[in-house]
Amino acid sequence: MLVSFLGSLPLGTLNIAAMQISISTGTMAAILFSLGSLLAEVIYVRLSLVAMDWIRKQEKIFKVLEWVTLIIVLALAFSSFYAALHPKEEKNVVLDSPLPKFVLGFVMSAVNPVQIPFWFGWSTVLFTKKILLPRNDHYNAYIVGIGLGTFFGNCVFIFGGLLIASKINNNQHILNWVIGGIFSITALIQVWKMIRKKDTMHKIEHPEEVTQGMEEKIIEMTDHHK
């Protein structure tokens, strides 16, 4: 739960999308979106725990998902900038789609491959440290913790977004500019990683890069608790 919570705090496609939904549609819609996104995440984690060798061989699938993710992020950026330029038309083409918010969250999370190497790396580290054991009770507790951590992390953005929106009142086009800028930066980072080959498969093959920085602190806290 702690790893998942901390991993959900850096600005990313899903948490910023949840924030924008909370501002434009309401907290319940944003919560449903977050529940859908974390469902896809825990499914990926569960599969990765029992099929690590198979995942390592799916390079073509991850390449396709990376391009799909890039297209979605660009669409989100464009929609945010469009909303900023046309304040009377506040709808976001992607986030205000007719899909139920739960389904939208699930789909956006399912096509986002970033979470796969993140949890692949952490699972590898925890297996190595003997903190996570290949047992169903460990797997179930691990997945429940991940789901709760992701949800709490998204709540920071959901309710934080409402707080920001209440402060700026009728100047929400400013927030749309900021959100559009964040999505644009996310897209540029995605392109840079794809060009530099620092993509999903690279992270899966080098899990130590994914957990670097957070690992020692989390392990120390876990050992202290034990």
Residue corresponding to tokens 């073509």? 60
CA distance 44 to 110: 8
Please report the pLDDT score of residue 171 as a whole number.
64
In the Cβ-directed half-sphere of 214, how many Cα atoms lie within 13 Å?
A: 20
Would you place residue 215 in the very low, low, confident or very high pLDDT band (cuts 50, 70, 90)?
A: low
Q: Which residue has the higher pLDDT, 42 or 174?
A: 42
Please report the pLDDT score of residue 34 as a whole number.
94
Task: Locate 213 and state its tokens.
Answer: 């920085």
Helices (H) and strands (E) in the chain, counts: 12, 0
Would you place residue 79 in the very low, low, confident or very high pLDDT band (cuts 50, 70, 90)?
A: confident
Please report the pLDDT score of residue 206 as a whole number.
54
Would you place residue 149 in the very low, low, confident or very high pLDDT band (cuts 50, 70, 90)?
A: very high
CA distance 179 to 16: 7
SS3 state of residue 41? helix
Q: What is the DSSP letter of 201?
A: H
pTM of the entire structure?
Answer: 0.71
Whether 36 shows a pLDDT value over 90: the answer reads yes
Q: Which residue has the higher pLDDT, 97 or 20?
A: 20
Please report the pLDDT score of residue 30 as a whole number.
92
Q: At what angle do helices 115-128 and 27-50 cross, to 10 degrees?
A: 50
Task: Locate 141 and state its tokens.
Answer: 């507790």
One-character DSSP codes across 76-117? HHHHHHHHHH-TT----TTTTSSS-HHHHHHHHHHT-TTHHH
Q: What is the mean pLDDT of residues 16-21?
A: 87
What value does the mean pLDDT of the chain take? 77
Please report the pLDDT score of residue 77 as a whole number.
80
Q: Where are the domains of the chain?
A: 2-225
| Chain segment 86-121, per-residue pLDDT in tens | 766 556 666 777 889 999 999 988 887 677 777 877
Q: What is the DSSP letter of 131?
A: S
Q: Which range has the worst mean pLDDT, 47-61, 146-160, 175-189?
A: 47-61
CA distance 202 to 185: 21
| Chain segment 157-210, per-residue pLDDT in tens | 899 877 877 776 566 677 778 778 887 887 887 788 777 765 555 555 555 555
